[in-house]
């Protein structure tokens, strides 16, 4: 993993990914007690930054591999990102999902042209089923975060932040990033190291799923006790990755943790003040900026709002409870 891979991914994504701006609102600055700049990856294709990694990985494949197709294990944003990237490359795409995944996610992924293969979470072995399918059809597996070309794609978020921060005269700032397996955080951190050394990543996780925060503190990979039980489903992973963690250990500052309620309140703030839709996992970094200001340094904080794929019932709950 190096900056050249990220720059190359940026070239392949140029004119394809949405070039998201940095948003701001004096009302959010007042809550946070400092300037807040928000990168809304919720308006990225398929509603999250995951499209970048998916496109980066699919577009990096040799033609022959691409023609045979790709496979991903996901019921969420990674599935949609890979599916759209594959379709626009005319590459076959298989997404392996648990049979109890929400109907709307199955339907959306199919609508993006992917073949959805369902397995039983209780009786089926996802990895074995996936390996058999990949073998049989010659598919390339695209992992959600521990995959160099995926990290390179997510790192393009960091290149864009570096460019826009420079234009805003922000030379030093903490950059809060929603963090599951660490693909986005580590890609951004590598981009900053090369292009904006005054910007540093702080991973943000949901309460009870702070594996990255604990791993950064202990210096070794720590695991979560649970794999479910937070509204922030997009960023619940058992542990940081083998590739992503060493990068974070070298480059990231300490992690931050927010509650589900803080994530919902940040969704309501993003609705009222930025006019974007965030999902809970996509709102954790904004929540940290707004409600954990005393754990953050500097006169400006930059926040990645990583995704917006939320059911309307949950958005309505956020607005009703925290809409002010």
Taking a C-beta distance cutoff of 8 angstroms, is the pair 293, 33 a contact?
Answer: yes
* Smallest distance from its own copies to CB 8, Å: 20
Question: Cα–Cα distance between 113 and 88 in angstroms, integer?
Answer: 10
Residue 140 interacts with its own copies (CB under 8 A)?
no
Give the three-state DSSP class for 239: coil
Residue 106 interacts with its own copies (CB under 8 A)?
no
Shorter beta-carbon distance to its own copies: residue 107 or 127: 107
Residue 314 interacts with its own copies (CB under 8 A)?
no
E strand segments, 20-73: 35-40, 70-73
Token pair belonging to 158 = 């960091």
Residue 45 interacts with its own copies (CB under 8 A)?
yes
Phi then psi for 95, rounded to 5 degrees?
-115, 125
Using CB under 8 A, pick the residue from 20, 185, 215, 237 that binds its own copies. 20
Residue 316 interacts with its own copies (CB under 8 A)?
yes
Using CB under 8 A, pick the residue from 149, 185, 306, 309 that binds its own copies. 309
Question: Cα–Cα distance between 37 and 23 in angstroms, integer?
Answer: 6
Token pair belonging to 95 = 């997404």
Largest CA distance in the chain: 57
Using CB under 8 A, pick the residue from 227, 275, 297, 299 that binds its own copies. 275
* Smallest distance from its own copies to CB 197, Å: 23
Shorter beta-carbon distance to its own copies: residue 27 or 119: 27
**305 forms bridges with which residues in the sheet?**
40
Residue 19 interacts with its own copies (CB under 8 A)?
yes
DSSP string, 116-152: EEEE-TTT--HHHHHHHHHHHHTPEE--SSS-HHHHH
Using CB under 8 A, pick the residue from 82, 199, 216, 277 that binds its own copies. 277
Residue 110 interacts with its own copies (CB under 8 A)?
no
Number of residues that bind its own copies (CB under 8 A): 37
Q: Which stretch binds its own copies (CB under 8 A): 181-189, 193-201, 207-215, 269-277?
A: 269-277
Question: Cα–Cα distance between 280 and 230 in angstroms, integer?
Answer: 9
* Smallest distance from its own copies to CB 14, Å: 10
* Smallest distance from its own copies to CB 308, Å: 3
Shorter beta-carbon distance to its own copies: residue 186 or 309: 309
Shorter beta-carbon distance to its own copies: residue 174 or 279: 279
Taking a C-beta distance cutoff of 8 angstroms, is the pair 36, 66 a contact?
Answer: no
* Smallest distance from its own copies to CB 45, Å: 7
Residue 213 interacts with its own copies (CB under 8 A)?
no
**97 forms bridges with which residues in the sheet?**
118
Q: β-pairing, 70-73 with 35-40? A: unpaired
Report the candidate in 176, 177, 147 with the shortest Cα–Cα distance to residue 241: 147
Shorter beta-carbon distance to its own copies: residue 30 or 120: 30
Residues 46-105 that bind its own copies (CB under 8 A): 47, 84
* Smallest distance from its own copies to CB 54, Å: 14
Taking a C-beta distance cutoff of 8 angstroms, is the pair 305, 282 a contact?
Answer: yes
Q: Count of alpha carbons within 13 Å of 142, Cβ hemisphere only?
A: 36
| Interface contacts to its own copies, rule CB under 8 A | 15, 18-21, 23-27, 30, 40, 42-43, 45, 47, 84, 108, 111-112, 167, 268, 271-272, 274-278, 308-309, 312, 315-316, 319-320, 323
């Amino acid at each position: 993993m190096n900056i050249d891979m990220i720059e190359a991914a940026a070239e392949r994504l140029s004119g394809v990914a949405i070039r998201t701006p940095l948003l701001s609102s004096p009302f959010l600055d007042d809550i946070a007690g400092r300037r807040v700049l928000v990168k809304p990856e919720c308006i990225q294709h398929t509603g999250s930054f995951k499209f970048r990694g998916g496109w980066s990985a699919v577009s990096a494949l040799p033609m022959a591999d691409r023609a045979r197709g790709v496979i991903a294990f996901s019921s969420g944003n990674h599935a949609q990102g890979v599916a759209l990237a594959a379709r626009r490359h005319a590459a076959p795409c298989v997404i392996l999902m648990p049979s109890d995944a929400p109907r709307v996610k199955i339907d959306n992924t199919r609508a993006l042209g992917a073949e959805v293969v369902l397995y039983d979470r209780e009786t089926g072995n996802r990895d074995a089923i996936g390996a058999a399918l990949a073998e049989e059809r010659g598919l390339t597996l695209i992992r959600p975060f521990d995959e160099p070309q995926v990290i390179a794609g997510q790192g393009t978020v960091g290149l864009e932040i570096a460019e826009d921060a420079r234009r805003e005269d922000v030379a030093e700032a903490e950059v809060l990033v929603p963090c599951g397996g660490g693909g986005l955080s580590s890609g951004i951190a590598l981009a900053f190291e090369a292009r904006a050394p005054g910007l540093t990543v702080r991973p943000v996780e949901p309460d009870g799923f702070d594996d990255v925060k604990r791993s950064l503190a202990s210096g070794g990979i720590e695991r979560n006790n649970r794999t479910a039980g937070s509204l922030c489903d997009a960023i619940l992973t058992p542990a940081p990755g083998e590739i992503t963690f060493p990068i974070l250990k070298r480059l990231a500052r300490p992690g931050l943790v927010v509650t589900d309620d803080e994530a919902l309140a940040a969704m309501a703030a993003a609705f009222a003040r930025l006019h974007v839709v965030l999902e809970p996992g996509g709102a954790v970094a904004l929540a940290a900026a707004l409600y954990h200001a005393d754990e953050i340094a500097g006169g400006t904080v930059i926040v990645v709002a990583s995704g917006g794929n939320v059911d309307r019932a949950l958005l309505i709950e956020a607005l009703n409870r925290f809409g002010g």
